[in-house]
Structure 1
Amino acid sequence: MIPALVRFAKLKEKRIDGLANHAKCPINTSRLEGYNMIKVAKRNAYGYKNDRYFFTLIRYLSLPAYDLASPKNT
């Protein structure tokens, strides 16, 4: 158990500046990731004549259980 505590202390010491900055200003990239997901959906929906399909796709992608498949992951 002691080696785990030593490892945790070293990791905390290494990242203390980032932890303090996050506590002062908690910014994350979730909104940017959402915009990227919409841009990917827009590229995939290119050529469809129906805009309703695109907006339905955006709603579907916003579901919490959906994970956008990347060509790198397949």
Structure 2
Amino acid sequence: MPVDDAKIARTFLMPRTLVKTAETAVLRTGGLPGGYKSMAALVNGALARELERLAGEFNDGEPFPPNGAEFRVGRPLG
């Protein structure tokens, strides 16, 4: 992530069990090498890894360009 990349807030609905398990992982690994000190850090790290995987699988290994338009909301695509 570029140093000057501004942070923006997003709201997502997630399964309660996934959130509770993630909170426990942060609490138990925050002080360990390779652990995450916050939920935001965990989510950012996981999302970055998944985007890299998707780019490798669907975009010839090149990062997806930033979306320049409004993101569609409502029913899922497909």
Structures share a fold, TM > 0.5? no
With normalisation by structure 2, the TM-score equals 0.30
Q: Greater share of helix residues, 1 or 2?
A: 1
Query: Normalization by structure 1: what TM-score?
Result: 0.32
Q: Which of 1 and 2 has greater Rg?
A: 1
